[in-house]
Structure 1
Amino acid sequence: MEDAMTRTARRLLETTTGKLAPDPRANRLVPLVARGAAGRDTLAALALEQRWVIAADRRAFQYLAQRAAAEPETAAYFTALAEGEALAAQRLEAFAAACGVTEERAVAYDPLPGCQAYPAYAAWLALNGSPAETVLALHANFSAWGGYCATIAAALRRHYGFSGEACAFFDLFAEPSPVLEEQATAAVQAALDAGRLNERLVHRYGRLLQSYEAMFWHTLWERERGLPGQVD
């Protein structure tokens, strides 16, 4: 039977995720993709922006793992995230190719500031954030990201005719990872047991992460709408 202490960590993960859940109406781009109404050029921009995000996040997670070396449960969580980003980078290439992205276009592409605010803040957390609080903030953010990925994966198959290989990047994140869930729980429990978890910081980190996540999608939505400043 699961002990009371573990349930405490899981309850905190669940309540934090609930409190930080974004307004479902805030993301205007994913519903467009879900209806098949987003242009393929916007999908290509999504792939190109993710190239930059993944590379930055992987390094941020690796650095967080190093900083948390004295907290093995927390370090294990960040190491797993970094490994996941490496796998995501591999799977992203099939999606990018299906969107018509060539290596020449990828090299010439200038990333949009609104899309890169999220990895910039993740890098700030890697340098300045408390690792245990960052675990909780990231866990909450990944819940929203996973839902977006599930919607996009289904839409790419239904409306755009993308293959399973081309959708594999989104499939990777569409379902919760039991292993990551266990590692996050262990990291949070260790912090609780040591009395070193500051929930005020958790919500500060989480609120900013969710805001920058929303900015990522809104920037691509603006690009889809052809608003000024949102071009390659």
Structure 2
Amino acid sequence: MARPADTARPTAAAVLDDAVRALAPDTGANRLVPQIAAGQAPRTVFTTFALEQHQVIAADRLSFQHLARRADADPPVADFFDLLAEGEALALKQLAGLADACELTDREISAYEPHPGCQAYPSYAARLALGAEPADVVIALSANFAAWGAYCGTVAAAMREHYGFPDSALGFFAFFTEPAPDVADRARTALQHGLDTGQARPEAAHRYGRLLQAYELMFWHSLTDGPASRS
């Protein structure tokens, strides 16, 4: 008797779509982005954003590089994290335009003391890099990237409309707002490998994703905790 085809096994695309839906932040969860969209947030928020992101990017790049090394025996997964690490390097270059528009000096950037709330996200990403199954991190990050990209798109539009920033200052936000087909393709390939090998555990990934989304919101809300350091 022929063995029936296994129709219950989900595809990577379906698992990722489900994570994006299930882990999407509640409407109104981000208190700061709507204020920026309305032009009601103080302009100093963008200075603090640039300063904090210099440290977030450096930390996330190390986390992605470590995840790639941990997934060395699983090339599709390692390729995904290698691409993310490369993307962080590109994002740092794009951030220079915002730093220049905020008149930040290299000394101010290097001497800045970050807000703990803004650095909770990269700290948790580093924890995942150390001990979580890399295929599960693919799911969690993919869900978070969807929310992050939407926020960046809203902020970029408001920076031009309400705050008078030049286009050169918007490159960082545009980098994350515009669709990244290479990242999406590699995420699906990496996760499909994880599903096929039994490494991926969507339930655990959703737990990681919920925390990443919470720390993402903490980042935005912490931007207004105090004035940016200009020592």
The TM-score, its normalising length taken from structure 2, stands at 0.92
C-alpha distance in structure 1 between counterparts of 2:111 and 2:199, whole Å: 45
C-alpha distance in structure 2 between counterparts of 1:132 and 1:197, whole Å: 5
Q: Which amino acid in 2 is paired with 1:83?
A: E
The Cα of 1:40 is off from its aligned counterpart by: 1.8
C-alpha distance in structure 2 between counterparts of 1:154 and 1:130, whole Å: 37
The Cα of 1:32 is off from its aligned counterpart by: 1.4
Of Structure 1 and Structure 2, which has the larger fraction of its residues in helix? 1
C-alpha distance in structure 1 between counterparts of 2:11 and 2:110, whole Å: 47
Alignment partner, residue 182 of structure 1: 185
Provide, for residues 148-169 of structure 1, a one-character-per-residue CA deviation record: whole Å limited to 9, x for no partner: 0001111111112222221000
For the pair 1:132 / 2:135, whether they are aligned, the reply is yes
Provide, for residues 46-103 of structure 1, a one-character-per-residue CA deviation record: whole Å limited to 9, x for no partner: 1100000000000110110010011111101000000000000011011011122222
For the pair 1:28 / 2:31, whether they are aligned, the reply is yes
For the pair 1:172 / 2:178, whether they are aligned, the reply is no
Q: Is the 8 A contact 1:94 1:165 kept in 2?
A: yes
C-alpha distance in structure 2 between counterparts of 1:199 and 1:121, whole Å: 18
How many residues matched? 223
| Partner of residue 166 from structure 2, selected from 159, 163, 169 | 163
Q: 2:223 is paired with a residue of what secondary structure? A: helix
Q: Is the 8 A contact 1:27 1:218 kept in 2?
A: yes
Farther-moved stretch of structure 1 (157-166 vs 110-119): 157-166
Q: Which amino acid in 2 is paired with 1:184?
A: A
Q: Which amino acid in 2 is paired with 1:213?
A: E
C-alpha distance in structure 1 between counterparts of 2:145 and 2:157, whole Å: 18
Alignment partner, residue 153 of structure 1: 156
Provide, for residues 123-153 of structure 1, a one-character-per-residue CA deviation record: whole Å limited to 9, x for no partner: 1111111100000000000000000000111
1:187-198 maps to which residues of 2 (within 5 A)?
187-198=190-201
Q: Compute the RMSD of aligned alpha carbons.
A: 1.7
Alignment partner, residue 219 of structure 1: 222
Alignment partner, residue 117 of structure 1: 120
Q: Which amino acid in 2 is paired with 1:135?
A: V
Provide, for residues 159-196 of structure 1, a one-character-per-residue CA deviation record: whole Å limited to 9, x for no partner: 12222221000000002211111100001111111122
Alignment partner, residue 227 of structure 1: none
The Cα of 1:231 is off from its aligned counterpart by: 6.0
Q: 1:197 is paired with a residue of what secondary structure? A: coil
- Tell me, which stretches of 5 or more residues in structure 1 are unaligned? 224-229
| Partner of residue 56 from structure 2, selected from 33, 53, 75 | 53
C-alpha distance in structure 2 between counterparts of 1:63 and 1:42, whole Å: 31
Q: 1:210 is paired with a residue of what secondary structure? A: helix
The TM-score, its normalising length taken from structure 1, stands at 0.91
Q: Whose radius of gyration is greater, 1 or 2?
A: 2
Provide, for residues 11-38 of structure 1, a one-character-per-residue CA deviation record: whole Å limited to 9, x for no partner: 1100111100111211111111111222
C-alpha distance in structure 2 between counterparts of 1:175 and 1:18, whole Å: 19
C-alpha distance in structure 2 between counterparts of 1:176 and 1:7, whole Å: 24
